[in-house]
Chain A
Amino acid sequence: MNLISIAGLCVRFPTRSECIRAVDTIDLEIARGDHVALIGESGCGKTVLGMAVMGLLPENARIRGTVRYRERDLLLAGEPDMQRIRGKEIAMIMQNSANSLNPVIPVGSQVAEPLMIHGILPAEAAYKEAIRLLAAMGFNLPERAAGRYPHEFSGGMRERILVAIALACQPDIVIADEPTSGLDAQVKSQILHLIKKQMADRTLLLITHDMGAAHFLCTRIAVMYAGEIVEEGPTHDILSLPMHPYTQGLLASLPSAGLHPIPGMSPSPAHLPDGCRFCSRCPSATARCSTEHPPVNVRGSRRVRCFHYD
């Protein structure tokens, strides 16, 4: 049973002169307990996709498609319904831990806040629960940590606090948007281990550009390029045998594979080509690729949007 199924999701931002197609016909199924990574370069629309699921897109976004969660469409749910769901059933670990915490409130109260707002626990019990959560996040002296202010913590510790806030209400699904950006390698691995441990019996949608993090945390990977999912499948299969030329390029550009960058630039989301969106950078592009948009081809447990796998 799928916990969340996204079907035909399109997000557009019309401006005065053009239309930004940030996310285009995305289909993605996430089963209970699944850990899915959404991988792609900056600006490919992965964060917009996460925000669309949470119903947090700005007013000017034009959204189409369905996001089905527990027999209901989140895109049709009203704001009060979404407020009840956010944090309690679907939580988010935000990008940029420096700005996500209120600088003048002790972190314990900030961890306790969602519990109080959702009416799960009264103030005092919520604070106790916050201390317990901080302890679970690996703080040695959680009572003391709870009384401190965000600036007294390092980036890695702030990230732990954000994880604690996201998990406070025991959500079913956690959407983690670049949880390790801006952290050094060692702290990053600590945070990834922490997330892996905490996500053991939860569903995770990881939004990242970090292959290593996706490999470590996730059972499935969806690769996004220019607003589309170009390839999707089990982590191991994708990493060992990438099918889409973009995924191949992405893996070849990793430091461990010799840092071979993909030539060219990804197309502007306002002027997407008619054919395959990767065609101008693709080493194996054919004439057909530049005129026809490739459909999704299913190969066993994998899906790939490329003519070479017809």
Chain B
Amino acid sequence: MQSRKMILWVSVAVLCAYFAIALCAPLLSPYGPTEIVGNPFQSPGNGHPLGTNDLGQDIFSQLVYGARITLLFGFCAALLSVLISTSVGIVIGYYGGLPDEIVSRLIDVFMPVPMFPLLIVLTAFFSPGVLQISILMGILGSIYGIRIIRSQVLSLAQTSFVEGARAIGASDFHIMFRHILPNVMPVVMVKFVSSSQRLLLMGVGLSFIGLWDTTTVDWGTMIQNSYSSGGMSLGLWWWLLPPGIAVIGISLALAMIGYSFEEKFNPRVGVNRL
């Protein structure tokens, strides 16, 4: 019990640290992320805490500025996906009927399609920017969530407090907003944390493949650059490891927070996942 609480708080602290770094990027980094400020392939030290890359850009500055882009698309996409899945799930679950049928069948069609390959195809077609990618990921990521929320709403719509509110003439909006939404909030929270982790990793993956604007610096492009310019074979660990560790750190923190939330809100889930 105690150790699980510790893990949660450490994870939250790590997450806060990432956000603080992203917010204070200009204060923390000595140079701009795309500025050429030194000789190529400089090892750490000498005014470059993490050395420089093949173009002589400061890797520490890239790492710090990269946090902005990476967190931005991860959380934007997760927020959007949760917004879509909650609103659509509540509305179709509550009203049922034809719209519910149509959306459910559409979900059945999209569910078996693996999301990452689909994203690769779509980004290859539209070559979108960071914001458009987030929107795309948000929409695709909401599919599973709609199903979960909808099923919850179906059973909530049968409860006596919902029927009672309807019996005395409460508006549908009142029932959905005041009675149903607070009841699905735990699921929504868990979904938000877990999908922000999933979508953040997916975004890093996409930028690693190099399917979007490669001039924006984020952790995926950093890893991609180091990989394609032979950073690994040259043994330039300071180029590859920092963005890699940064990605692992945040996705671990988010996963742990997600598990703790899930255990808190749904005590029947196994306790041995940590």
Contact present for A101 and B161 (CB under 8 Å): yes
A133 CB to nearest B CB, Å: 16
Task: Tell me, yes or no, whether B178 is within 8 Å of chain A by CB.
Answer: yes
- Interface segment among A102-110, A191-199, A205-213, A293-301: the answer is A102-110
Task: Tell me, yes or no, whether A252 is within 8 Å of chain B by CB.
Answer: no
Contact present for B179 and A102 (CB under 8 Å): yes
Residues from chain A with Cβ under 8 Å of B179 in the complex: 102, 105
- Interface segment among B6-14, B53-61, B131-139, B162-170: the answer is B162-170
Residues from chain B with Cβ under 8 Å of A96 in the complex: 160
Name B179's closest neighbour in chain A (CB-CB): A102
With beta carbons under 8 angstroms apart, the residue of B168, B169, B183, B185 that contacts A102 is B183
- Assembly CA distance A15 to B164 (angstroms): 26
Name A103's closest neighbour in chain B (CB-CB): B183
Interface of chain B: mostly helix, strand, loop or mixed: helix
With beta carbons under 8 angstroms apart, the residue of B159, B160, B167 that contacts A87 is B167
B221 CB to nearest A CB, Å: 43
Bin chain B's interface residue count.
10 to 19
Residues from chain A with Cβ under 8 Å of B164 in the complex: 94, 100
Task: Tell me, yes or no, whether A56 is within 8 Å of chain B by CB.
Answer: yes
Contact present for A117 and B167 (CB under 8 Å): no
Interface centre among B165, B168, B170, B183 (most CB of A within 10 A): B168
Residues from chain B with Cβ under 8 Å of A54 in the complex: 167
Contact present for B169 and A117 (CB under 8 Å): yes
Residues from chain A with Cβ under 8 Å of B182 in the complex: 102, 104-105
Q: When A96-B160, A117-B174 are in contact, do A104 and B169 touch as well, CB less than 8 Å?
A: no
17 contacts between A and B (CB under 8 A): A54-B167, A56-B163, A56-B167, A80-B169, A83-B168, A83-B169, A84-B169, A86-B167, A87-B167, A99-B161, A101-B161, A102-B159, A102-B161, A102-B183, A103-B183, A105-B178, A117-B169
